[in-house]
Chains A and B, each alone.
Chain A
Amino acid sequence: SQQGEEDPQALSIQEGENATMNCSYKTSINNLQWYRQNSGRGLVHLILIRSNEREKHSGRLRVTLDTSKKSSSLLITASRAADTASYFCATDSSGTYKYIFGTGTRLKVLA
């Protein structure tokens, strides 16, 4: 599997529920970022977590990072219909300026 692979591929929940999506990667990183993409639009940066951080919050978003397991999770609490989008994790590749994006998790929040 490629670096920055999200799981699950698709997720459907009711409004008000929490949504959790996971990302696994293969090589060492400086940071990991999460992005959101609404249908037919570009990606929007949500949050960046550095390799020496374990948890980070931004509004209803909570991101964790476990470098020993090479994995990260994104939790969206009290989801809303407007959260319906695809979510991507992106890792840097140590020593380069490349970002490696996964294939994304498609989240659908039902009203």
Chain B
Amino acid sequence: DVKVTQSSRYLVKRTGEKVFLECVQDMDHENMFWYRQDPGLGLRLIYFSYDVKMKEKGDIPEGYSVSREKKERFSLILESTSTNQTSMYLCASSIFVRTSNQPQHFGDGTRLSIL
């Protein structure tokens, strides 16, 4: 069974702090994703990575950056947090198939509160 592990379930930070959210998958998946989930807005893609050191911006990358130094690990970085970044953050991974998107496997999420 695929396991996607996010480093924290709950996190409380103050505005202006730098935050690292870590995600590790154990199935050698090429693709990894970071989403945020807000009530009424569904899941919105922040960043996507299809290989080590490769990344693509999603729909809402502003205020975020990512790092993928190893295939199994995908980190989301909030350089200087603001209250509007309070949200549930979800990491996911999937295998790569050129012709179509494959099922994603999600971690349990990190509920981040910025005070």
A and B, one complex? yes
A interface with B by C-beta (< 8 Å): 2, 4, 30-31, 33, 35, 40-45, 48, 50, 88, 90, 92, 97-99, 101-104
Q: In chain A, what residue has the closest Cβ to B44?
A: A101
Whether A98 lies near B106 (C-beta < 8 A) is no
Chain B contact surface mostly: strand
Contact partner, A44, options B101, B106, B111, Cβ 8 Å: B106
How long is the Cα–Cα vector from A99 to B45 in the complex, in angstroms? 8
B interface with A by C-beta (< 8 Å): 4, 31, 33, 35, 40-43, 45, 48, 50, 56, 58, 90, 92, 99-109, 111
Q: In chain B, what residue has the closest Cβ to A31?
A: B100
| Residue of B50, B101, B111 with most chain A CB atoms under a 10 A cut-off | B101
Q: Which residues of A contact B58 (CB under 8 A)?
A: 98
What would 20 more interface pairs be, CB under 8 Å, given A99-B45, A102-B42? A2-B42, A31-B100, A31-B101, A33-B103, A35-B104, A40-B108, A40-B111, A41-B109, A42-B4, A42-B108, A43-B43, A45-B103, A50-B100, A97-B31, A97-B48, A98-B48, A98-B58, A101-B43, A103-B42, A104-B42
Q: In chain A, what residue has the closest Cβ to B41?
A: A103
Q: In chain B, what residue has the closest Cβ to A48?
A: B103
Q: In chain A, what residue has the closest Cβ to B111?
A: A40
Chain A contact surface mostly: strand
In the complex, 26 of the A-B residue pairs with CB atoms within 8 angstroms, ordered by the A residue number, are: A4-B42, A30-B100, A30-B101, A33-B101, A33-B103, A33-B104, A35-B104, A42-B4, A42-B107, A42-B108, A42-B109, A44-B106, A45-B103, A45-B104, A45-B105, A50-B100, A92-B101, A97-B48, A97-B101, A98-B48, A99-B101, A99-B104, A101-B35, A101-B42, A102-B42, A103-B42
Q: Which residues of A contact B56 (CB under 8 A)?
A: 97
B112 to chain A, nearest CB (A): 14
Q: Which 9 A-B pairs have the closest CB atoms?
A: A42-B106, A92-B101, A45-B103, A30-B100, A101-B43, A103-B42, A43-B106, A42-B108, A101-B42
